Structure 1
Amino acid sequence: MGLDSVWHWLIFLVIVLLLFGTKKIRNLGPDLGEAIRGFKKGLSGDDEAKKGEEDARRKEAEQLRADPKPADPASTQSQRDSSESR
């Protein structure tokens, strides 16, 4: 008499249903999935914070490279004039 008998499994399922009820068993899957997602998020939370900081620094550096402000508007005009004469 091992656990391979169908009757053993039926008795086991009836006991589980009586102890926990169908509502708790029905909610077991979503609750377990939510717990696993929370655990994964907790493990990768530090990495996401570092990644967010790096992204912000990178965007700021790109913005500085994309929009350099001229020091003096008159000097930029003279640079344009000298480049056109070549």
Structure 2
Amino acid sequence: MLNNIGLPGLLLIAVVVLVLFGRGKISSLMGEVGKGITSFKKGVSEGNKELEDASNDASAEETSTENEKDKA
């Protein structure tokens, strides 16, 4: 069913949504969507950084343990 929606159909849907909700409501909604995407990207990058830090800490701990074994 959705395979047959072309450019004219999408434009018609956009016009109907604009008429129903108004420009101000759609503008504020898109602003909220943008903020959500930004915070999602920030959370993903912070999560990746935490994983890298944990990996670096684990490898540093393994190195220090190996150095202690070599000294003994």
| TM-score, normalisation: structure 1 | 0.38
Query: Would you tell me which structure has more helix in proportion to its own residues?
Result: 2
Higher Rg: 1
